[in-house]
């Protein structure tokens, strides 16, 4: 085969692939997320990009930007930027969207869930769709729900066994609802970007923080900076992979189906690896020298009771229709 013939054939292959996928020209979509590139969020985002490139024969590729780089380090701004089309894609967790859409706080209400089955009955079912519908009104199309996980508390001062042990601790938190939860426990909460948190922990600006084990604490090596962890499962935090409505509307139905399928598959895999990492996580953290405490059912009930005021405040903000739908799905799971 001559060189000219080879290039023509190769080019035709690319064009047929692109047209087959209903895409006019090759493009690279920008995906923003707000944690490091060692996390399962990042891996899930990369997986989505791989599947999409494969299934569109390279016509659509994804470039993943970690650490909220594209929103100037502001993890809360990403959703709003996707909504107005300034970002193509986002992977972020529900709590980060609450300034824009307060209803997103429903997932993270303290002690709403006590198992992954209950979680899946909402994020993968009709209750999750209620939230997707609300996000669509803000220009964000939810393609699939993934997992940040059950958030566990860490600190450098003492072991936490009772609500009283939280008293007076300086706690970094991500979002507004967690301020109210920490207040209810008598801690001193400070809202801070995740991008600034590791340094703040290292310098002792705060005593502690709360995050999921598999998705964040292990991949971001929080165990290097914190001595105590209590697995109190106080709040569940899902992530979602979303695309801007304006981008979405530019694709034909076939391309939309390819994009959605890739997202669903990537996020299902992301949930799986996050749960695996969490399951193996407690033993790993102990090996790293952390003192990990797993509260009894009775102790968990005391945390649940102490955080009830924050639950009530935020349940009212979310609205009874949504909270009831979640609680019914959870009761049936």
Residues that bind ligand X2X (CB under 6 A): 34-35, 75, 93, 95-96, 148, 174, 194, 211, 216, 237
Tell me whether residue 93 or residue 307 sits nearer to ligand X2X (CB atom).
Answer: 93
Tell me whether residue 239 or residue 306 sits nearer to ligand X2X (CB atom).
Answer: 239
Q: Nearest distance from residue 199's CB to ligand X2X, in Å?
A: 14
Tell me whether residue 60 or residue 91 sits nearer to ligand X2X (CB atom).
Answer: 91
Q: Nearest distance from residue 75's CB to ligand X2X, in Å?
A: 5
Tell me whether residue 93 or residue 155 sits nearer to ligand X2X (CB atom).
Answer: 93
From the list 266, 244, 270, the residue with the least C-alpha distance to 54 is: 266
Tell me whether residue 75 or residue 230 sits nearer to ligand X2X (CB atom).
Answer: 75
Q: Nearest distance from residue 270's CB to ligand X2X, in Å?
A: 14
Q: Nearest distance from residue 194's CB to ligand X2X, in Å?
A: 3
From the list 35, 44, 13, 79, the residue with the least C-alpha distance to 243 is: 79
Q: Nearest distance from residue 219's CB to ligand X2X, in Å?
A: 11
Whole-angstrom distance, CA of residue 191 vs CA of residue 301 = 26
Whole-angstrom distance, CA of residue 59 vs CA of residue 199 = 40
DSSP string, 187-222: -EEEE--HHHHHHHHHTTSSSEEEEEIIIIITTTTG
**Each residue of 244-272: b (16+ CB within 10 Å) or e?**
bbebbeebeeebbebbbebbbebbbbbbe
């Amino acid at each position: 085969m001559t060189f000219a013939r080879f290039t023509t054939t190769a080019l035709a292959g690319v064009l047929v692939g692109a047209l087959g996928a209903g895409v006019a020209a090759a493009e690279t979509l920008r995906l923003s997320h707000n944690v490091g590139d060692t996390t399962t969020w990042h891996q899930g985002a990369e997986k989505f990009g791989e599947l999409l490139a494969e299934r569109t024969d390279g016509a659509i590729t994804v470039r993943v930007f970690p650490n909220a780089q594209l929103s100037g380090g502001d993890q809360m701004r990403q959703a709003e930027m996707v909504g107005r089309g300034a970002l193509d894609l986002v992977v972020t967790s529900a709590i980060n969207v609450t300034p824009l859409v307060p209803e997103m706080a429903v997932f993270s209400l303290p002690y709403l869930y006590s198992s992954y089955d209950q979680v899946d009955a909402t994020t993968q079912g009709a209750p999750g769709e209620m939230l997707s519908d609300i996000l669509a009104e803000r220009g964000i199309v939810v393609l699939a729900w993934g997992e940040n996980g059950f958030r566990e508390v860490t600190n450098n001062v003492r072991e936490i066994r009772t609500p009283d042990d939280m008293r007076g601790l300086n706690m970094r938190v991500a979002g507004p609802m967690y301020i109210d939860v920490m207040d209810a426990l008598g801690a001193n909460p400070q809202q801070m970007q995740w991008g600034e948190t590791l340094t703040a922990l290292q310098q002792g600006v705060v005593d502690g923080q709360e995050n999921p084990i598999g998705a964040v604490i292990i991949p971001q090596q929080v165990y290097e900076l914190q001595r105590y962890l209590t697995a109190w499962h106080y709040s569940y935090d899902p992530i979602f992979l979303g695309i801007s409505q304006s981008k979405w509307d530019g694709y034909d139905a076939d391309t939309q189906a390819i994009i959605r399928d890739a997202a669903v598959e990537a996020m299902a895999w992301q949930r799986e690896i996050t749960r695996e990492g969490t399951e193996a996580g407690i033993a790993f953290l102990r090996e790293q020298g952390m003192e990990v405490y797993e509260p009894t059912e009775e102790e968990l009930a005391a945390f649940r009771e102490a955080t009830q005021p924050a639950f009530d405040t935020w349940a009212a903000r979310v609205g009874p229709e949504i909270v009831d739908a979640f609680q019914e799905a959870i009761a049936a799971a």
